[in-house]
Amino acid sequence: MASEEDLPLSTNPADDKNNNDKPLAKLLIVDDDADIVQVLKMGLVKNRFLVEAFTNPEEALQSFKSNAESYCLLLSDMRMPSLSGIQLARKVKEINPNVRVVLMTAFEIRDEEFAKVFPSSRVDGFLQKPITIRDLIIKIMSLIGQSKRRRTDED
């Protein structure tokens, strides 16, 4: 597992020739649609991400709890039965506030509504489905890059 210090700031992981065998980051992917989970996982693994993927958000949370420090980012669907994306995000951030959270949805994104209902839940980004793997990687890399820069500034 790569630490955040190992992560390149490039948004094109395929261009990174120096660390070809190292995973770029460990991601937790959650969507109740199994097809979407499979496609995202395949696309991200191919681009050197380490991915744990779930269709059941409760199971995803259990997995996160057991190894919270190893994850860099949660990518979750917004509308899921039993635990919505925003609820999952809140729980994940409670356990590890450094984890970046991106929520994706095929519905209209109205993040201000979530901010009103869950003012303490901070989501780092939203993505409108359908999503291309390229756009997803750009989003992930920019968030992970921000995280790295923030840590460097703090040091």
Partner 1 sequence: MERNHFMRSIEQKGKKVVKESSQKIANTVVKKKLIEPGSHNLLIYDDLRTFREIYSEYSRALLPQNEIIIIGTQYDTVENVKNTLRLVGVDDVERHLNQGTLFIVDAQKGYYDAGSRGMWKLAMSILSRVKKEGRQGVSWFGDLGSFFSFEKIEELMQYELWCPQKYEEDIMKSICSYHSKDFEKLTEAQKQALFDHHFKSILVE
Positions touching partner 1 (CB under 8 A) are 32, 79-82, 84, 86-87, 106-108, 110, 113, 117
Q: Nearer Cβ to partner 1, position 82 or 146?
A: 82
How many residues are present in the chain? 155
Residues 6+ positions from 124 with CB-CB distance below 8 Å: 100, 101, 102, 143
Q: How far is the CB of 87 from partner 1 (least distance, A)?
A: 7
The side-by-side arrangement of strands in the sheet containing 73-77 is 50-54, 26-30, 73-77, 100-105, 125-128
Q: How far is the CB of 110 from partner 1 (least distance, A)?
A: 8
Q: Nearer Cβ to partner 1, position 81 or 153?
A: 81
Look at the alpha carbons of 153, 148, 68, 74 in this order and tell me if their dihedral is positive or negative: positive
Q: How far is the CB of 2 from partner 1 (least distance, A)?
A: 34
Q: Residue 59, SS3?
A: helix
Q: Nearer Cβ to partner 1, position 58 or 69?
A: 58
Q: Nearer Cβ to partner 1, position 31 or 124?
A: 31
Q: How far is the CB of 98 from partner 1 (least distance, A)?
A: 25
